[in-house]
Amino acid sequence: MDPQVRKQVLRKLTYGLYVAAAMDEFQAAADTVNWLSQASFQPPLVMMAVKKDSNLHALLECGAPVAINIPGADQKQLAESFFRPTQREGETLNGHRFRRGNTGAPILEAVPAALECRVAGSLPGGDHTIFALEVVDAHLHRDEPPLEMWDTGWFYGG
């Protein structure tokens, strides 16, 4: 297999962009991710691949609930701000206000929609772990189209 061709073909996959956010009493992690999809209707599950050496991974391994924040089409800058290490200051994460959802997971106030999830299982893959997440709550702040990876010029994959 030609690794360059593999990279080109893997970059034909279509993605959204999401800010996956979790916190416990010691730390918070809010990372922009794209390796995420629904994985079941009943129960409602999503699957998300998370980098093994990340703080988000550590929190999920410990069973922290996680919010999948779904930025709107015009929120590329918001997504970009979560490429940086997570800094909590008061009720903000990397400068964006959040509230704790019913599970305690941090929901960004600016995003149009978010899911709250609990870890239902995991599959150790390669440099990322695949988490199966049960959707236990959902929030629709505004009915807007979401941010798509193709519209940003960014890639994560290949």
Interface contacts to a second copy, rule CB under 8 A: 1-2, 5-6, 8-10, 12-17, 34-47, 49, 70, 112-115, 120-128, 130, 132, 135-140, 143, 146, 148-150, 157-158
* Least CB distance to a second copy at residue 115 (A): 6
User: What is the helix (H) or strand (E) element at residue 3, kind and residue range?
Assistant: helix 3-10
Closer to a second copy by CB, 62 or 123: give it: 123
Closer to a second copy by CB, 6 or 97: give it: 6
For residue 102, with 0-12 CB atoms within 10 Å meaning exposed, 13-18 middle and 19 or more buried, which class applies? Answer: exposed
Q: Under DSSP, is residue 33 helix (H, G, I), strand (E, B) or coil?
A: strand
* Least CB distance to a second copy at residue 51 (A): 9
CA gap 145, 147 in Å, rounded: 7
